[in-house]
Chains A and B, each alone.
Chain A
Amino acid sequence: MRKLKLHPCGKFNEQYGEELTIFSTDFGRLWMWVGLFLLFVVLPFICKPYHLYVINHIGIAAIAAVGLNILIGYTGQISLGHGAFFGVGAYAAAILATAVGFPFWLSVISAGVITAFVGVLFGIPSVRLKHLYLTIATLAGQFILQYIFVQWESLTKGPMGIMLPRATLFGIDVKGDRNFYYVIFVCFVILTWVAVNLIRTRFGRAFIAIRDNDRAAEGMGIPIFKYKLISFAISSFYAGFAGGLAAYYIGSITPEPYTLMLSVEYIAMIIIGGLGSIPGAVFGAIFITLLNEILSQSTQFFMNIEGLAKIALTIAPLREFVFGLAIVLFIIFEPKGLAEVWRIIRSGFRLWPFSY
């Protein structure tokens, strides 16, 4: 057995391969197992149904945010259309399940694939355009898709929405928050594992090269356009997959939630979490979902108190303000996001008592 690395007080890499390891110490690997144990064995049994409901939403948001981070954080292509891509996934899953009769697992995966195609379609302008123009192209994509959700009534049932059938997996009826919790978080762990490893492959390195300097990347023989489209496809796949899961979890879908505001929410997640960091996307998803939940809870709280209902009405738009403020403050004061804060805290522990 090799020697365990637990608490090195610096970086003592001897081979280039060590730079690429996921866990720099065996301590991190240990913590991952503890975390998975907490996630799958402890957490679902100590939480109340309402908390499980919130955690499930965090899980779905985290899948989409990890995907968006591959596009924005690693490839450097800003997309303002991910709210709509999420919606494409939700609609694809719903239509496949109701009209075609696909089973749960197949319709969620196909939702991801269909969304990947849609994402590539709106990524095509990146042939000639750099991020500034591309951002505008994805903004247009957001509006066009939103229009299709409402207007293509023969397919999407328009503003009426679609009711989804019960999700069943391997003959088991996935009902209730706890069963769905397992479905969501197994998917989450698999997809995060894929994302973490993707970044270490040829693809991931090409993405990072394009982000850091596209001209140099082209010069080194990376076909930029191909890799940009691959990045779009992967990222949209994640969004669509999350959208499909969300559609099944909520049970019915309407066009309302998939607006530009949702796109901004996802961007807020990865900025607050940390651009170009997979744990960051997860932190961001947790932060934004909790923020959302706290604000809507406080609205309800004030609504129920006599005489304070007026305050409740002002809290609703305050939600947008708080989002904006969070994005702005993080960009100015901690551009690397919560992931950086987390790293500082960790290294503080590691270097204690000589941290400075």
Chain B
Amino acid sequence: MEFFLQLSIQGLSVGFLYALAALGFVMIFKSSSVLNFAHGELLAIGAFIFLAFSVWLKLPIYLSFLFTLVGAFILGFVIERLFLRPLIGEALIEVIMLTVGLAAMFKGLLLVIFGGNLFSYPDFLPAGLTIRWGAINIPPVYVASFIIGIIFLSIFGFFFKYSSQGIYMRSVADNQPAALSLGVHVRRVFAMSWAIAALVCAISGIILGIMNGINVHDISVLGLKVFPVVILGGLESIGGAIIGGLIIGVLETFTGGYVSTSLKEVIPYIVLVFILLVKPYGLFGLVEIERV
């Protein structure tokens, strides 16, 4: 029983990590319907910018957090301007390929600059955030990221539902030509959505870095694990991403604990194939009925 409980806690915390990583992905997909294969690399870039500010330049944490957010926001704009704007109106296949290329490019660049070593941030979270409950001990990182996650979920939920910018984004994702003809500034919406997504990625990246340490390879693998998570939850649903992340995390940990440790790494992908066959739009996804 204790083993079970321990695994559940561990699984939930891993799942939370996945959910966090999936947030930015869903943001980009929801607002521009681009399947971003460079997602893991965006997370890693955020984590490394924070590392550069906080450890190398030794700026105070608040300042470096702020600078990282600003940096990520600008980076999102730049990526959109340089790489994605030329492709507005092009076939989806080319956009997907482009993000595959970007992924390889960013990963190579990060490896050249930072190398493949494991880095870690200084400990800065207050120890008072720890939750003790009987034998269960939840470290402050998870509490902090849980709070941040909840805040983000509600901010973005409201943003997409009520703000005009959010509605523009959804309209562009739904039907680009129609949005264009109704007077939505598609290019600005694209730029905004990439900037915001890069910002969300940076925050997730920093939290991942605090939890697991920062390593280019690890984070880019995590970026690919996002796919089972978002497919399970439904590509357009932020809530679905979180639930999907938790389910995948728990499933992975239980497989590791009860079945075999090596199966742990692929079980999300096996689940992914299964979901695609049975319920391709996920638990909370938008069902597009189009029989072809």
The chain A residues found within 8 Å of chain B, CB to CB, are: 72, 76, 78, 80, 122, 124-125, 128-133, 135-137, 139-141, 143-144, 147, 150-151, 214-215, 218, 224, 260-261, 264, 267-268, 271, 275, 314, 317-328, 331-332, 335
Contact = CB atoms under 8 A, between A and B. Distances in A.
Contact of B93 (A124, A131, A317): A131
B280 A72 contact: no
A260 to B, nearest CB: 8
A18 to B, nearest CB: 29
Contacts of A130: 290, 292
Main secondary structure of the interface of A (DSSP, over half): helix
7 contacts: A131-B96, A143-B269, A144-B269, A147-B265, A218-B292, A267-B100, A327-B105
B270 A144 contact: yes
Top 4 nearest A-B pairs (CB, nearest first) are: A321-B108, A324-B105, A327-B101, A324-B104
Given A139-B227, A321-B108, A322-B108, A128 B101 contact: no
Interface in B79-118: 83, 86-87, 90, 92-94, 96-98, 100-109, 111-112, 116
Question: B interface, how many residues as a size bin?
Answer: 35 or more
Main secondary structure of the interface of B (DSSP, over half): helix
B292 A331 contact: no
Interface of B: 35, 83, 86-87, 90, 92-94, 96-98, 100-109, 111-112, 116, 224, 227-228, 231, 262-263, 265-266, 269-270, 272-273, 276-277, 280, 290, 292
A277 to B, nearest CB: 15
A314 B113 CA distance: 8
B227 A324 contact: no
A326 B97 CA distance: 12
A140 B228 contact: yes
Contacts of A320: 104-105, 107-108, 111
B265 A137 contact: no
A132 B102 contact: no
Contacts of A125: 273, 276-277, 280
B35 A132 contact: yes
A78 B97 contact: yes
Interface centre among A72, A78, A143, A268 (most CB of B within 10 A): A143
Given A136-B35, A319-B108, 4 more contacts: A139-B224, A147-B266, A267-B97, A331-B94
A77 to B, nearest CB: 9
A72 B83 contact: no
Nearest to B83: A328
Contacts of A261: 104
A129 B276 contact: yes
B92 A331 contact: no
B292 A215 contact: yes
